[in-house]
Amino acid sequence: MPSFQPQEKAAEALGVHWSWLRDRRLQGRFIENVHFIRVPGVRSYCYNVPLIARWIDVGGDPARHQRDVDAYLIQTGQMNPSKRKAGGRG
């Protein structure tokens, strides 16, 4: 299954109502181009099903989910692994 799915298919795959996805997007809990993308030319969105499934698994906790987001960004080339934040400096 491709990562990004249209809203209705994503909702079905995740076992949630499409409005649940919309609400989290509008609340700022999902990051554009990470958790969702806009479909050009229409008022529609596609959602990153595997990443949102992990978000659900960690209960929406941003700190716990950050590792999944970082891994996704590295995998897609949006973040250089050497630029990841280190646990501490010095």
Q: What is the pLDDT of residue 24?
A: 96
Q: Provide the residue ranges of all domains of the chain, joining segments of one domain with +.
A: 4-79
SS3 content of the chain, % helix, strand, coil (to 5): 50, 10, 40
Report whether CATH 1.10.1660 matches the domain 4-79: yes
Cα separation, 74 vs 90, whole angstroms: 25
Q: Tokens 């989910």 label which residue? A: 65
Cα separation, 51 vs 69, whole angstroms: 8
Q: Which amino acid appears at position 31 of this protein?
A: I
Q: What is the pLDDT of residue 4?
A: 95
pLDDT per position in the chain (90 positions), as tens? 468 999 999 999 999 999 999 999 999 999 999 999 999 988 899 999 999 999 999 998 888 899 999 988 998 888 777 655 544 433
